[in-house]
Amino acid sequence: MHTRTLLLSPYYLPLKVLRWQDAVKMKYEGTADVVAEYEDLISSPSVTWKLPAVMRLKRMPRPQKRGVRFSRLNVYQRDGFRCQYCGNRFPIAQLSYDHVVPRSAGGRTEWLNIVTACKSCNSRKANHSCDDAGMWPLRDPVRPKSLPVQPPALDRSSIPEEWLGFVRDLA
């Protein structure tokens, strides 16, 4: 049985991968339309449906008013997955974040004191200030008002056939 459903924006852009249970709930609630189905069936006492393979949101959710939540991934997105010291782009596995003002000097873990750093630059800067290390971020850290929508990271070898027409450019 297939366990994943691809969720598209109203404009047919891939947003994320859902558990099949969440996809069925969205179909039942009417928040998304089924675009493609698997052959697998699910049933309740009153209804039998084919399992949704690809769904499209009827409308985009409203942006949250409280701003962008601070997280490691959101810091990487804000900085474009680019080390703010050497300027190179890296895959997530080779990134970390750095406290511009080190924690040992009272620096806090918050938007205005954290930048993306590759592991090499981060270990070279260590717990020194920018002046002591001779390393300054390319851009000052800011609190973003929004972040670009990132398509889901998909493994080419495990993409179901039903998704191919919707993720060809990403795969």
How many domains does the structure of the chain reveal? 2
pTM of the model: 0.61
Q: Which residues of the chain have pLDDT under 70?
A: 63-65, 149-150, 168-171
Both structure tokens of 114: 């954290």
Kindly state whether residues 50 and 91 are assigned to the same domain. Answer: no
Kindly state whether residues 79 and 45 are assigned to the same domain. Answer: no
99 lies in a domain? Answer: yes
**Domain boundaries, position 51:** 4-62+150-167
pLDDT recorded at residue 170: 58
What is the percent of the chain with per-residue pLDDT over 70, rounded to a whole number?
94
Kindly state whether residues 44 and 21 are assigned to the same domain. Answer: yes
Kindly state whether residues 118 and 157 are assigned to the same domain. Answer: no
pLDDT recorded at residue 169: 62
pLDDT recorded at residue 60: 82
Kindly state whether residues 51 and 103 are assigned to the same domain. Answer: no
pLDDT recorded at residue 121: 96
Kindly state whether residues 58 and 11 are assigned to the same domain. Answer: yes
In whole angstroms, what is the distance from residue 137 CA to residue 84 CA? 5
138 lies in a domain? Answer: no
Kindly state whether residues 9 and 46 are assigned to the same domain. Answer: yes
Kindly state whether residues 79 and 56 are assigned to the same domain. Answer: no
Rounded (10°) CA dihedral 11, 17, 19, 20: 50
